[in-house]
Structure 1
Amino acid sequence: MSRRILMTTRIIFTLLLLLPLGCQANTQITPNQDSAKQQGINLYNQYKATSAIPFLTTAAEAGDHEAQYYLAEALRKKNHYMNEDAKKWYEASAGQDDLYAMIQLGRIEHDMCEISNDCSASQKPAIEWLNQAKKIAKEKADTGDAEAMYIMYEITLEDAWLEKSASAGNALAQYWMAVSIKQGDGFFLPWKRSEAVEKWFKLSAEGGYPKAMMNYAALLYERGDVEGYRSWVEKTALTGYATTVFGYGADLAHEPDTFGYPLDLIKGYALIYWLSELDGGGGMKENVEYTLPRIAAKMTAEQIEAAKKFSKEWAASHPPLSFFPDKLSR
């Protein structure tokens, strides 16, 4: 097995580990329902909340707590506020001990349900959901669960929990540790602060978190390690992180030639063409419409057809495009 395949396998495995902390038991769903759930999550992660709703509904109605949580998130984002349907699905998920759903319910203070007085009564007051989430997360954190430690940070906003989670190996916590230190939190000598930022970005990047991977790549580029930068950009693109897929594809096609990648028009065109499926998700439509014709102008008709075929094969053999939004959104 090649080194690249090994790295790709590790990244994909790590991303699976980043999936949310679930319940001890969850309703079993059929393969078709699970496929619909995964498609819904993929669409949600591409900023297509409305398109995700029918897919997530299939698994949510079958009792899957994670689908119920994502469905609630999608409904809330579609309507720009908490409404009856969103709250119903948050509560269904929270009823199965989904910590993320509990926290979202616990964050509700004043929503449109309360203002319009057209929603059914809540199962519990917001503070009770939050306290329940805290109790369960604390128990898990005390056993060494790194994700539960991060959940404790989200609930309490105590930096000690963030550091504990990061030290225990949670890639998301490591990323936010780096961001926090970079923004000035903590007490460091100037050169020690930059060392700490790099340390946490590197650990998170090695753990497979795409946003950290790009931040670490940027640090390498800043100190003149262009080869290291190119390597990490390629690794990030392999995760399906849409922002990096665009940059990597444009770089390969020399649009522009900034980082010294060998010219590869077919692969560059293929990656940008792949982004067309986002159809506006994350603001990529304008980037694709501007860049794709510029690459095509350098290619023959045969090369363009080969690139489209390559794009289809790439999409089938790599993780889906994603913007990797925070699971616990605001």
Structure 2
Amino acid sequence: MNTKRNLATFFLAITVSCQLFAGLTPDTNIAKSKGIVLYNQFKSISAAQYLMVAAEAGDAESQYYLAESIRKSKHYMTEDAQKWYQAAAEQNDVYAMIQLGRSGEDYCVNMDNCPLSKKTPEEWLKSALDTAKPKAENGDAESMYLMYELTLKPEWLQKSADAGYALAQYWMAVGIRQGDGFFLPWTRKEEVGKWLKLSSEGGYPKAMMEYAAYIYENKGDLEVARHWIEQAALAGYKSGISSYGAYLAHSPSLYDFPLDLIKGYAITSLLTDLDGGGNVQVYVNDTLPEIAEKMTPEEINKAKDFAREWKKNHPPLSFYPDKLSH
């Protein structure tokens, strides 16, 4: 299993804090990185001010995420959101084209105040299809997945998953679990496990957590399940962090993790960085005191030191939302 190589490839593609973006100044790169980190922490309003810097410099990905941030914070397609989606779409960003194509289903339709667009939603979807299809037919796994989003034809999802796209592999598992395809009951379960395992090996943290749960529910090897929970935490995935910290501190005790109060407290405390995103603070306020009751003041100080070191050497916390939001 080439887990380390696949994880490295995955995080090279998604981790923005260590990337240099072509055509942008160092300061603009930093702003873009910060903006995407905040966006991935469900802090859309805070993200927008950083993304604006790179968007105005002409970076298509920043323009897309800025549009997403504005739309999510307002809960509908505003004139500003559409402006930035269009700016990205005009640079052949398929994600932006799809969101513009879906604008016909936006809340603004019900409110009868959708901003004027350069194309109709149908024309934007055709542009997305015309851009993604040649790449998909040429073997690009991500474009195959976008073709699935555009057409809802399961063969495109299958092709993308077979080509190794971790997100497609995850949705293959979800679909089969929900009844897609024709399988005997035990082979359906095996197929779900197969795709979750492949997606986990491809570096997708949501799949890691679900694969760990799959192993637990099917009385599999708990050492393997613990490995994937730890990998999800190492990736900065919110659910991986909260589960790993809690299980290490036996709050509750699951998956037979060895008790480690210092590490458990430290990992759980990292979630305070998500204050303002995803309503995580309520969980932290309940769980940290519960763990602290089992610890000495000296152990708590050691845990705080451990947390500071962790933050220096691991990716920022993230909810890992799908890039193409709904």
Which bracket does the TM-score occupy, shorter chain normalised? Answer: over 0.9
**CA contact 1:221–1:228 (8 Å) conserved in 2:** no
Aligned amino acid, residue 297 of structure 1: E
How many Å separate the matches in 2 of 1:322 and 1:212?
Answer: 15
Structure 1 residues 189 and 305, CA, compared in 2 at 3 Å: closer, same or farther?
Answer: same
Judge conservation of contact 1:201–1:212 (CA < 8 Å) in 2: yes
Whether 2:289 is the aligned partner of 1:293: answer yes
Task: Tell me the distance in 2 between the aligned counterparts of 1:231 and 1:118.
Answer: 48
1:53 maps to 48
Of 149, 154, 175, which residue of structure 1 is paired with 2:144?
149
Tell me which residue corresponds to 1:102.
Answer: 97
1:247 alignment counterpart? 243
Per the alignment, residue 131 of structure 1 pairs with 126
Structure 1: distance between partners of 2:120 and 2:274: 38
Q: Which moved more, 1:31-40 or 1:164-173?
A: 31-40
- Between the aligned partners of 1:9 and 1:267, the Cα distance in structure 2 is 26
State the distance in 2 between where 1:112 and 1:163 align.
32
User: What are structure 1's unaligned runs of at least 5 residues?
Assistant: 21-25
Distance 1:295 1:100, change over 3 A: same
Which residue type is aligned with residue 269 of structure 1? Y
Aligned residues: 320
C-alpha separation in 1, matches of 2:223 and 2:210:
15
Is the partner of 2:280 in helix, strand or coil? helix
Corresponding position: 1:165 with 2:156? no
**CA 1:85–1:206: 2 relative to 1, 3 Å:** same
Match of 1:303 among 299, 303, 315: 299
- Three-state SS of the structure 1 residue aligned to 2:104 is coil
Judged with a 3 Å threshold, the aligned counterparts in structure 2 of structure 1 residues 113 and 188 are, in CA distance, closer, same or farther, namely: closer
**What do the CA deviations read for 1:98-131 (whole angstroms, capped 9, x no partner)?**
0000000011115466645473x31111111111
Does residue 199 of the first structure (1) align with residue 190 of the second (2)? no
1-side partners of 2:140 and 2:4: how far apart?
A: 25
Aligned twin of 1:90? 85
The TM-score normalised by the length of structure 1 is: 0.92
Aligned to 2:66: 71
Which residue type is aligned with residue 323 of structure 2?
Answer: K
Q: Within the alignment, does 1:326 sit opposite 2:307 as a pair?
A: no
Structure 2 distance, partners of 1:105, 1:48, is: 22
Cα deviation code 1:116-160 (max 9, x no counterpart): 5473x3111111111111011110011100000000000001001
Aligned-pair distance for 1:19? 7.9
3-state SS of the aligned residue for 1:276? helix
Name whichever of 211-220 and 8-17 sits farther off.
8-17
State how far apart, in whole Å, the 2-side matches of 1:110 and 1:247 are. Answer: 36
CA distance in 2 between partners of 1:66 and 1:267 (Å): 36
1:259-313 alpha-carbon deviations (Å, 9 max, x no partner): 2212111111111111111114222111100010111112222221221121111
Structure 2 unaligned blocks of 5 or more: none
Q: Give the residue type in structure 2 aligned to 1:326.
A: D
Show the counterpart of 1:23.
none
- 2: CA distance, partners of 1:8 / 1:322: 20
Residues 299 and 110 (structure 1), Cα distance of their counterparts in 2 relative to 1, 3 Å cut:
closer
- Aligned-residue CA RMSD in angstroms? 2.0
- C-alpha distance 311-94 of structure 1, shift in aligned 2 (>3 A): same
Provide the rounded CA distance (Å) in 1 between the counterparts of 2:243 and 2:142: 31
Q: Find runs of 4+ consecutive structure 1 residues off by over 6 angstroms.
A: none
Cα offset, 1:36, TM superposition: 0.9
Which amino acid is 2:277 matched to? G
What is the CA deviation profile of residues 161-181 of structure 1, one whole-angstrom value per residue up to 9, with x for unaligned ones? Answer: 000000011000000001001
Structure 2 counterpart of 1:212, one-letter code: A
Is 1:267 equivalent to 2:267 in the alignment? Answer: no
**Aligned residues of 2:3 and 2:202 also touching (Cα < 8 A):** no
Determine if contact 2:249/2:291 at 8 Å carries over to the other structure.
yes
- Could you state the TM-score of these two structures normalised by the residue count of structure 2? 0.93
SS of aligned partner of 1:160: helix
**For the Cα contact (< 8 Å) 2:249–2:265, is it kept in 1?**
yes
Matching residue's letter, 1:271: I
Local SS of the residue matching 1:290: helix
